[in-house]
Amino acid sequence: MSDIITLQNVSVHFPVRGFLPFLKKGEIQAVSDVSLRIGRGEIFGIVGESGCGKTTLANTMVGFVKPTAGKVLFEGVDLSSLPRQEFKKVRRRMQMIFQDPFSSLNPRFNVYQIVSEPMLIRGEDDEESMKARVVELLEMVGLSSGDLYRYPSDFSGGQRQRIGIARAISLNPSFLVCDEPVSALDVSIHAQILNLLLELQEKLNLTYVFISHNLADVKKLCDRLAVMYLGKVMEAGNSDKIFAKPLHPYTQALMAAVLNIDFSGKREIAVLPGDTPSPIDPPPGCRFWQRCPKAMRGCKDVPPEYVEVEEDHVVACHLVNGFPKTELPDGYDQPLVRSEKTVKVRR
Amino acid sequence: MEQVLKLRNLKVVFPTDYGLIRAVEGIDLDIYDRECVALVGESGSGKSVTSQAVMRLLGSPPSLVRVDVLEFDGRDLTRCTEKEMQEIRGKEMAMIFQDAMTSLNPVMTVGRQIDEVYIRHEGDSKQAAREKTVKALELIGIPEPGERANAFPHQLSGGMRQRVLLAMAFACMPKLIIADEPTTALDVTIQAQVLKTLRGMQKGCGTSLLLVTHDLSVVASIADRVYVMYAGKIVEKAPVEDLFIKPHHPYTVGLMAAVPTLTDEKKKFTQIPGTVPSPVNKPSGCYFHPRCEYATERCRREMPSLVPVGQGREVRCFHPLSVEGGKSSE
Amino acid sequence: MKAKRTLGQRFWQGITKRVSGAGALLAKVWAHKQGKVGLIMVSFLVLVAIFAPSIAPYDPYDVSQRAAKGLPPSREHLLGTTINTGQDIFSMLIYGTRVSLIVGVTSGVCIAFVGSILGVAAGYLGGAVDTLLMRLVDIMLVIPTLPLVIVLTNVLGRDFWIIILIFVALGWTGLARTIRSLVLVLKNSNYVKAAELAGASRWHIMTRHILPGTSHLLIMSTALSSAGIMVAEAGLSFLGLGDPTAISWGKMLAEAQSGGALLFGAWWWILAPGLGIFLAVFGFMRLGLVLEEIANPRMKRTSSVYKLFKSLDSSYVEEVFRSMDDYQKIGAAEVASGGGQHYGTGLEA
C-alpha cells in the first residue's frame, strides 16, 4: 500500500504578538515535530482535545497552513515546491468536510450552486452536464433532485452535512479530511452520516483523515490513528494494536474518559486531573507530564523519543521506552511528587 | 419521599411569522428529594424550553405557556410574582448553563460574582461572603481558591469556569439545580472531572438535580431517573438502570445504539433513518413513526398516550419493546 | 452536444439575476410598514427632483421671474417669497430637492463604492495593504471634520462636485472598517475554504462569495449615509460653505437667517426648507433602518413580536393546546402520582 500523505517532522508555530507589534510575546506551537504516513484507502483518525493541534495538522495537510518546518508530501510530491497552477490542480484531489454544517454552506447559494461550484471553478460551463452530475451526487449522498433549488436554510443539520459531502466529492477527490463531521449534529443523525462516509469510501476508493475528540467513534471507524496532545503525537499506528494495548498514559486516560452506557459494571467516572496547559511556549520535556498520573521526575525536562514498540505502533513515552542515555537529572526515574501548585492554569 | 418539583401538563408554543412552533406538548415532570433526574432529547425536543419554564424564565411574548400544576417545594409557582420568583431563583432553585463564558460577567472577578449570591440571598457582609466563596471554591475542587477568586473569567480555563458556575449554583444550598447541558462544551477529560464534581456535590449537599442533555452517556453516568423527550413529548420515563438495560421505546433504543462505545463492532453504525421533525410541521400520529421500523397503520394515524408499564416506568408507544432488540406481543 | 454560453448570454443572465434580486428586496421593503413609508417618501422626492421644472411654478434661478419681496403665502406664491430677493419659496424648495438628493445620494453611492473596495482590499488581501489602510482610517477618524471641511472648501473652491468629493473622502472610513471586519469573517468561513480547495482564484472568491456577502451592508449604508450627508450638506450651506450658485435647503435656511426672516415674521421662509430636510432625512433613514432589519432579522424590534401576538387567533391557539392532550391523560396522571413511591425505593438501591 503506497502512502497518499506523508508528514516529515512537520511543525507549525504561530507567533503571539504582544502589545507592541514588533515584539514577539511567545510562540504557539500548534503542531510540533509530527511525522505520520497515511496509506491509500485507509481511514486515519486524529484524536485529541481542544488545543491539541489536530485541526491545524489537517489544515497543513491540505495546504491551508504552511508548515514552519518539515515537509508534507502528497503522493510523494512536496506541494509547496509546485508552481501555483500545478499546486491548485493537485490540491483538487484533496477535499474537506467541515464540522459546522451551518457555516460551511453559503446561505446565498442554492444546492445546485453549492454543489456545482467546484466544477465551475475547474472550468466547466455546460449547464446540462453539470446539472446531471449534481443530481447524481445528491442521490449518492441521500438527497434528491427535488432539493436542487432549495437553500441551505431549508435543511436540517444532517441534510446540510450531506450537501457538504456532495460538494466535497464533486471533483472526484482521492483524499478527504473530515473535521469532526458529526459533532455538531444530533445524536440520532451521527450514524447516518458516518455510514454514508463509509459507503462513499468504498464506492469511490477514498482515503479519509477523520478528526475527532471521541475515541469511541475513532475506534469504530479508523484503520490507523494518531493521539495528539498539545501539538505532539503521543501514540500512533494501527488502530487495533493501539486499542488492544494502549501504552501511553494519555491514550489510556482518553479511553477511560469514554463514558459507558452499559450497566454491567460499576458506575464510575474515571478522572484525569488538571487542565490542558497553554500551547504558548510549552515545556521542553514530555508535553503531558503535568497531568500524567505516572510521571517521573525526568519527564519534565527530557523529551521522549518516538519508538516503534511493534510494527505500526509508535509511542513517545519514557515509561514505555525508557530514558535515553544522556545527561539526566538526579532521580529522573523516581515518581514525581506533585504539589497542587505545579498544575498551572491557562492565563 | 418529599417531592421537590411537580409539573403537570406543561405546554409551550412560540408564535412566529411561519406559524406556531409547538415546542412542548403536555409534559409531566416529578423530581423528588436528593434525586438526579435527566431530561434527554435532541435539538427541538423541547428539553431546554421545559427547564426554562420550570424556572419561569420564559417570557410572554415570545412564548405562550399553559400549565396545570407547577409546584416547587410545596409552593405554587404559577401564583408567585416576579419578585418572589427572583427571590427563589438562585436561592432555592439555581441554574447551570452550557456556556460558562457567557453566563459569567467578563469584567467582574469570579469571586465577586459568587460573593454577590451570598450578599443578595443571605444578607452577608462582603467579608463574610468572601470567606464563604473561598470555601465554596475549595469544595468544588479549585486549587488555590483564595487566589482564583480574584481571577477574571477569561483567565480561567473552560473546566475552571464551569466549576465556578457550579460553586455559584450550590452557593445557597438550593433545593433544586437545573443544569442545561453542563458539560457539552468541555473536552472529554474535563467533562469527566466536572461530572464527577457535579455528582459529588449533588449527593453531598442533598440537592435535587434536573439534568438537561442530549448525551445519553452523561445521563448514564450521573442520573437516577430519566425522561426521554422527542418532538415536545415525553416518550419514555424510567429509572436509569432499567432504561439502559431494557429500553421500551424504539427511539430510546435508537439513541442508545447511536452512542459509540469502545466495545462496539468496527465500521458499523446502527442508524435511525430520517430527520428530527421540524417543530412547525410535525408528522401525524406518533411523532416518531416516520423513523420507526416497527411503525404500523395505527402509529401513522393516532398519537399513543404515555402509559405506565410498571416499576415506575411509562412509555408512549403502541408497540413497546420489552427485551433488548426483541419485540413484545403487546 | 455542448452548448457554451457566450459572453453576452452570461452578461444578460447576470443582469436579470441582479434585477430579480433587487425586485425581491424591494418587495421585502414594501411588505414592511415602515419600509413602505420610507420607500414612498424617497420615490416622491426622486420624482420631485426629476420633474422640478414642471412642478415649480417659477424658475428660482431666473432673475426675470422674481416677484415683490417678502410676500406671504398666497395663491400665486404658495409659500410666499423671500424678503431679500423676492424669489418664490415653493419653487426654491422644489429645486432644492435636486441639490440635496444629488449630493446625498451621489455621495452615499460613492462612499459605498470606495468603502467596499478599500474594505474588501484590506480584509481579503490582508498584510501590508491592510495595515496601511487601517492606519489611514485611524488617522482620518481623529481629524476634526468641520475645520478640515472649511479649509478644503476654501482651498478647492465650493463647486457642487468638490463638496461631494469632500464628503466621500471623509465618509468612507467607517464603512471600510465595517466591511473589513465582515470580510474577515467571510474569508475564514468554511465555504470559502471549500472553494479554495477546489482551486478558486482570488477573483472568484471575491466576486462570488465576499462581495455578495457584503451587499446588504452596502445597500443599507448607502441609504443611511445619504441621509447623514443631506443633513451635513444643509449644515455646510447654512454656514455658507456650500456651492454659492446652487439653491439648496441649507442655503435657503442661511439666507432666511441673514435676510431677517425671524425679524419680519416670515415663518414660511424657515419652515419650508426645514420641512424638506426633515422629510428627506426621515425617508432615507426609514429605508436604511428597514434594510438593516431585513439584512439582520435578529434586529427585529419587540414591537413586531407584540403585533404578532395581538394578531393571534385565541380560539386557534386553544385548539392547538387542546390537540396536545393525551387520550388517557387522566388515567396516566393518576398512576404517575400514585407511583411516586416506586421511584423512592428504586433510588436508594
Helix H, strand E, coil C: the string for B99-116 is CHHHHCCCCCCHHHHHHH
pLDDT at A329: 66
The answer to whether residue B2 scores a pLDDT higher than 60 is yes
For Cα atoms C71, C75, C78, give the angle at the middle one, nearest 5 degrees: 65
The answer to whether residue B329 scores a pLDDT higher than 50 is no
The answer to whether residue C342 scores a pLDDT higher than 80 is no
d(CA C218, CA B194): 47
Phi/psi at B3 (nearest 5 deg)? -95, 125
The answer to whether residue B327 scores a pLDDT higher than 60 is no
Instruction: Give how far the C-alpha of residue B46 lies from the chain's centroid of Cα atoms, to the nearest Å.
Output: 10
ipTM of the complex: 0.84
CB contact under 8 A, A340 and B261: no
- Contact status, residue A123 vs residue C199, Cβ threshold 8 Å: no
Provide the grid cell at C85: 430677493
Q: What is the DSSP string of A124-140?
A: ---HHHHHHHHHHHHHH
d(CA C122, CA C210): 12
CB contact under 8 A, B267 and A341: no
Asked if A157 is an interface residue toward chain C (Cβ–Cβ < 8 A), one would say no
The answer to whether residue C298 scores a pLDDT higher than 70 is no
On the 0-12 / 13-18 / 19+ scale of CB atoms within 10 A, A193 is buried
The least confident of B137-151, B193-207, C66-80, C251-265 is C66-80
d(CA C73, CA B150): 72
3-state secondary structure of A311: coil
Name the residue with cell 388515567.
C331
Cβ burial C334-348 (10 Å sphere, 16+ → b, else e) = ebbeebeeebeebbe
For Cα atoms C256, C261, C263, give the angle at the middle one, nearest 5 degrees: 140
d(CA C195, CA C309): 43
- Contact status, residue A62 vs residue A96, Cβ threshold 8 Å: yes
Higher pLDDT, B1 or B327: B1
d(CA C265, CA A173): 81
The answer to whether residue C254 scores a pLDDT higher than 80 is yes
For Cα atoms C197, C201, C204, give the angle at the middle one, nearest 5 degrees: 105
Residues of A in contact with C193 (CB under 8 A): 64, 96, 98
pLDDT tens profile B206-262 = 899 999 999 888 898 899 999 999 999 999 999 998 898 889 999 999 888 888 888
Higher pLDDT, C74 or A173: A173
- The total number of residues written for chain B in this structure: 330
Q: Which of A89, A103, A106, A110 to mutate to test the interface with C (most CBs of C within 10 A)?
A: A106
pLDDT at B58: 85
* A48 conformational bin, left if phi > 0, alpha if psi -120 to 50, beta if neither: left
| Cross-chain CB nearest to B267 (options A198, A273, A345) | A198
The least confident of A92-106, A165-179, B273-287, C317-331 is C317-331
Contacts of B327 (CB under 8 A, 6+ apart): B294, B319, B321
The answer to whether residue C173 scores a pLDDT higher than 50 is yes
The answer to whether residue B161 scores a pLDDT higher than 70 is yes
- Contact status, residue A223 vs residue A42, Cβ threshold 8 Å: yes
Instruction: Kindly report the nearest CA distance between residue C189 and chain A, in angstroms.
Output: 6
| Cross-chain CB nearest to A261 (options B158, B196, B261) | B261
CB contact under 8 A, B314 and C321: no
Residues of C in contact with B28 (CB under 8 A): 332-333, 336
- Percentage of chain C modeled with pLDDT above 90: 11
Query: Tens-of-pLDDT digits for all 347 residues of chain A?
Result: 578 999 999 999 888 766 555 666 678 888 988 999 999 999 999 998 888 888 899 999 998 888 999 999 998 888 888 888 888 888 889 999 998 888 899 988 899 999 999 999 988 888 889 999 999 999 999 998 888 899 888 888 899 999 999 999 999 999 999 999 998 888 888 889 999 999 999 999 999 999 998 888 899 899 999 999 999 999 999 999 999 999 999 999 988 888 777 765 556 777 888 887 777 777 788 888 888 888 888 888 888 888 898 889 999 998 887 777 666 666 667 777 665 444 443 43
CB atoms within 10 A of CB B325: 8
Instruction: Kindly report the nearest CA distance between residue C33 and chain B, in angstroms.
Output: 15
Residue of chain C whose alpha carbon sits nearest to that of A97: C194
- Largest alpha-carbon pair distance within chain A? 75
Which DSSP symbol is given to B6?
E
Name the residue with cell 421585502.
C28
CB contact under 8 A, C329 and B20: no
pLDDT at A338: 62
CB contact under 8 A, A267 and B221: yes
Average pLDDT of chain C is 80
3-state secondary structure of B13: strand
Contacts of A46 (CB under 8 A, 6+ apart): A54, A57, A58, A209, A210, A211, A212, A225, A226, A228
CB contact under 8 A, B214 and A219: no
3-state secondary structure of C19: helix
pLDDT at C303: 60
Instruction: Give how far the C-alpha of residue A181 lies from the chain's centroid of Cα atoms, to the nearest Å.
Output: 11
pTM value surpassing 0.90: no
- The highest-level CATH class for domain C15-303 is mainly alpha
Which residue type, as a one-letter code, is found at position B231?
A: A
- Contact status, residue C346 vs residue B312, Cβ threshold 8 Å: yes
| Cross-chain CB nearest to C197 (options A91, A100, A129) | A91
Residue spans of the domains in chain C: they are 15-303, 312-349
Which DSSP symbol is given to A278?
P
Asked if C147 is an interface residue toward chain B (Cβ–Cβ < 8 A), one would say no
Which DSSP symbol is given to B117?
H
Integer CA distances (angstroms), C342 to B1, B272, C339, in order: 10, 32, 6
pLDDT tens profile A125-167 = 888 899 999 999 999 999 988 888 998 888 888 999 999 999 9
pLDDT at A343: 42
Q: HEC profile for C20-36?
A: HHHHHHHHHHHHCHHHH
CB contact under 8 A, A117 and C2: no
Task: Give me the mean pLDDT over the C157-184 stretch.
Answer: 88
Contacts of A154 (CB under 8 A, 6+ apart): none
pLDDT tens profile C39-71 = 899 899 999 888 888 888 888 777 777 777 777
Counting one residue from A and one from C, how many pairs have CB atoms under 8 Å apart? 68
